[in-house]
Structure 1
Amino acid sequence: MSVITFTFRPLDPLSDAELLHGWVTHPKAAFWMMQDARLEDVERAYMEITADEHHHALLGLQDGVPAFLMEYYDPRHRELVGLYEPLPGDVGMHFLTPPTDRPVRGFTRAVITSVMARLFEDPAVERVVVEPDVDNKAVHALNEAVGFVPEREIDKPEKRALLSFCTRAQFEKAVSA
């Protein structure tokens, strides 16, 4: 099986909105909580993210074609404020793979592995934190595959979430196994 490789580029909230709209409103993206979003809602949401110094959005590209969405954020300022005590070097992460009629075996695992590798390229990043919905069993398995360890369930305004962490060493051990 060939290795799936990706590159990244900053998301452009205007030119990428139509693409993202199709991804985030698809039933597969139910945990993204944008099922009823209009195109304008997606543009607005990602304009806010790209203007936010503590939240960033990138598109993962496969052969130059958008293949997934990656977001990362500073948990001292976004998403998890007051829900846990961030450590220096913590970064929060979300990723979304789009719907497809032709699933590729290992694709989503390659995506999360690439996302984690991208985050750990920054020497200041010591640990990645995620807070997926407690019912999102598929992403829990993917998170575990790249080294995440669940800590506890937390109540966010929009969901009950599983707070999980992955250090650089845990990631390296998981992907080298």
Structure 2
Amino acid sequence: MPNPKDLTALQLPTGSSLVADETENRLSLSLESQALINLRLTRETELRLQVEERFGLSGSQAFWAAGYWLFARDPACQRLIWQLDETPTEALLSGLLVPADTAGCYRCERTLFWQLPQPWLGDSLTGCYPQQMVISGGKRHPRRPPKPSCEVYRRFDSRLGAWISLRTVDIDEDLVRFNRWQNSPRVASFWQEQGSLEEHRKYLGKRQDDPHTLTLIGCFDDQPFAYFEAYWAKEDRIAPFYDADDYDRGIHMLVGEESHRGPHKVASWLSALVHYLFLDDPRTRRVVAEPRADNAKMIGHLQRQGFYCEKEFDFPHKRAALMALGRERFFERCSLT
């Protein structure tokens, strides 16, 4: 895997390249060959940044680019201290920067930076859907927004040197690969959804028609490798087994392509999936999963990404482990690059 600290450029979902020339005391950033900002760096307990020269883009765009470069290059970096002559009003309003204790100083916090939805959500960003409580299936829950039909998330993983993206399922395009994945003995041992093409078309169609479930295809460099289901926990069968919040999301996960298995790939796609769900609605405070209680490998992958086992419980079809990850814990500990 590439070492993020060896990179000289980072790709953005817009197709642009953020290019850097970094030394111990200087950082110069450019976007598609256009100079963006020159910074002086002071590497103390916390990394301090002073603007030497700023070019075409707005202050917020330049501050964001510097944050992305420095946080992606060093997953252990938790905050940046900006020393600025002028109040960065736009950056303060968005949460990109927050005031520090010293006049003229502002903090860029890793935990806040990765909660900013753009550019990771792209055109799928719809804002915070208004709340109206409804009852369906005997359960009271918020009315859910219309489901997207597009790519919903894209980010360059600098540790893998590859794009990780999520798009909604297209049944006609994805049916054959979904059928192949479900009929793999490895997948079938956990999902138990072996079947014909027609049976799997009905399976996907049922979930597509279900307003509480979003079906997704995971891609590395635009090559499909996995199928995910993201569901609103309040309306799901899991709701009676824990105190489900109105905006909790749950996940079901299936890696179909053998070439994309392994802990380093799981770390990339699982963090991307959780990141997307927390960005999709800022009211989501928890993501849950319910793997089979004896699926030690999957439980281990989840724990390495910050999930904890709240308890074991019995579904009609399996003994399950309730794995949960809170919003605060994810953004405090996430190692997104």
Q: How high is the TM-score relative to the length of structure 2?
A: 0.49
Equivalent of residue 90 in structure 1, options 248, 254, 279: 248
The residue aligned with 2:221 is 63
Instruction: Work out the number of aligned pairs and report it.
Output: 176
Deviation track 1:89-137 (CA, whole Å, cap 9, x = no partner) reads: 2111111111415756611221111111111112121100111000111
Q: Distance in 1 between matches of 2:320 and 2:263?
A: 27
Larger RCO (CA under 8 A, 6+ residues apart): 1
The residue aligned with 1:138 is 297
Q: Distance in 1 between matches of 2:301 and 2:178?
A: 22
Q: Is the 8 A contact 1:13 1:50 kept in 2?
A: no
Deviation track 1:64-86 (CA, whole Å, cap 9, x = no partner) reads: 21121121101111231322221
Q: Distance in 2 between matches of 1:135 and 1:105?
A: 18
Q: Is the 8 A contact 2:293 2:312 kept in 1?
A: yes
Q: Distance in 1 between matches of 2:241 and 2:330?
A: 23
1:18 aligns with 2:180: no
Cα distance, 1:49 vs. partner?
0.6
Q: Distance in 1 between matches of 2:255 and 2:322?
A: 21
> Which one has the bigger strand percentage?
2
1:106 aligns with 2:264: yes
Structure 2 vs 1, CA of residues 110 and 121 (structure 1 numbering), >3 Å: closer, same or farther?
Answer: same
Amino acid at match of 1:131: E
The residue aligned with 1:54 is 212
Structure 2 vs 1, CA of residues 58 and 101 (structure 1 numbering), >3 Å: closer, same or farther?
Answer: closer
The residue aligned with 1:164 is 323
Q: Is the 8 A contact 1:134 1:161 kept in 2?
A: yes
Q: Distance in 1 between matches of 2:307 and 2:163?
A: 22
Amino acid at match of 1:41: E
Q: Is the 8 A contact 2:168 2:216 kept in 1?
A: yes
Equivalent of residue 238 in structure 2, options 72, 80, 92: 80
Q: Is the 8 A contact 1:68 1:111 kept in 2?
A: no
Q: Is the 8 A contact 1:75 1:92 kept in 2?
A: yes
C-alpha RMSD of the superposition: 1.9
Moved more, 145-154 or 165-174: 165-174
Amino acid at match of 1:147: G
SS of corresponding position for 1:93? strand
- Could you list the runs of 5+ residues in structure 2 that have no partner in the other structure? 3-159
Cα distance, 1:146 vs. partner?
1.0
Q: Is the 8 A contact 1:147 1:173 kept in 2?
A: no
Q: Distance in 2 between matches of 1:27 and 1:71?
A: 20
Q: How high is the TM-score relative to the length of structure 1?
A: 0.91
The residue aligned with 2:283 is 124
Identity %: 27
Bigger radius of gyration: 2
SS of corresponding position for 1:6? strand
Cα distance, 1:6 vs. partner?
1.1
Amino acid at match of 2:220: Q
Amino acid at match of 1:52: D
Runs ≥4 in structure 1, deviation > 4 angstroms?
101-105
Cα distance, 1:5 vs. partner?
2.8
Amino acid at match of 2:180: G
